[in-house]
Amino acid sequence: MRYLFTLLLLLTCKQMFAQETMVIHSPNLRANDTVWVYKPADYKPNEACPVVYLLHGHSGNYKSWSGLVNLQALANLYHFLIVCPDGLKKSWYINSPNKDSTQYEDFFIRELMPAVAKKFAVQPQNIFITGNSMGGYGAMYLFLRHPDLFKSAGSTSGVLNLRYSAFHKTTIAYLLGAYSESNSLFDSYSPVNLLQNIAGKNKTFIFDTGTEDYLYITSKKFREKCDELKLKATYIAQPGAHTGSYWTKSIPQHFSFFSNLVNAK
């Protein structure tokens, strides 16, 4: 009995030590960003791992995904490092033309990614990014803006056209200016209008939306643009709404997709 208790304690400690918290003081954010990193339980500093950056949705934080899915189990299963940064509730993961706001894209590319690569053993050829809702937007936006930095990307229930977001007159307007049909920033910052950035680059990616999601129409239009540009996109339409229970089901599909790319011959 004592042996069994000791074994369980050792296994629990191993799981706990497989998670680390980083705090990055960022001039681009004018704040500290807390980042939760999940390592495979058998992580070794001399054995580089693929990395998945996992972005949370609007009003969430770096802990949000941990309440939806067992990230440690995914890290162990696929031998991935999973990096969960804090999106500061409503940053939308972009550089805002509003200079009083955050410059999140610069933080992500110039501060976060180098910090992760310095602290952990990372496979630079196997870096992925995905997320849900606002995070799905951010993942696809950063991927399409910097395709050479990522092997692939995902978006689950992502805001792939900002004009369809429920926040287009509130938090997005704060970042991009008051919403109007003539405010072209809502178009130039929308992933659907950035897909041409990867045309001819042999990039593949995954996106999905529940068929009862109010953003389902944006995924349909995104798919049509992918088809028009002949991009290698995997699109999943499945039952579900814009809810946590849907993302619990959908995000493991992205990890499986990324794992297949890592292991492809």
Written as tens digits, the pLDDT of the chain (265 aa) is 554 433 333 344 445 569 999 999 999 999 999 999 999 999 999 999 999 999 999 999 999 999 999 999 999 999 999 999 999 999 999 999 987 889 999 999 999 999 999 999 999 999 999 999 999 999 999 999 999 999 999 999 999 999 999 999 999 999 999 999 999 999 999 999 999 999 999 999 999 999 999 999 999 999 999 999 999 999 999 999 999 999 999 999 999 999 999 999 6
Distances 33 to 111, 148, 178, 242 between C-alpha atoms, Å: 10, 25, 27, 26
Q: How far apart are CA 198 and CA 205, in angstroms?
A: 11
Q: Which domain holds residue 143?
A: 2-263
Q: Which amino acid is at 166?
A: A
| CATH number of the domain encompassing residue 97 | 3.40.50.1820
Q: How far apart are CA 56 and CA 189, in angstroms?
A: 18
pTM: 0.93
Neighbouring-strand partners of residue 49:
122
Q: Which two tokens stand for residue 78?
A: 């696929």
Tally of structural domains, the chain: 1
Give me the pLDDT at residue 15, please.
53
By CB atoms closer than 10 A (0-12, 13-18, 19+), residue 113 is buried
Secondary structure of the chain in HEC code, one letter for each residue: CHHHHHHHHHHHHHHHHCEEEEEEEECCCCEEEEEEEECCCCCCCCCCEEEEEEECCCCCCCCHHHHCCCHHHHHHHHCCEEEECCCCCCCCCCECCCCCCCEHHHHHHHHHHHHHHHHCCEEEEEEEEEEECHHHHHHHHHHHHCHHHCCEEEEECCCCCHHHCCCCCCHHHHHHCCCCCCCCHHHHCCHHHCHHHHCCCCCEEEEEEECCCCCHHHHHHHHHHHHHHCCEEEEEEECCCCCHHHHHHHHHHHHHHHHHHHHCC
Q: Which two tokens stand for residue 121?
A: 């053993």
Give me the pLDDT at residue 10, please.
37
pLDDT (tens digit, 9 = 90+) per residue, 49-106?
999 999 999 999 999 999 999 999 999 999 999 999 999 999 999 999 987 889 999 9
Nearest to 247 by CA among 136, 119, 81, 99: 136
Give me the pLDDT at residue 170, please.
98
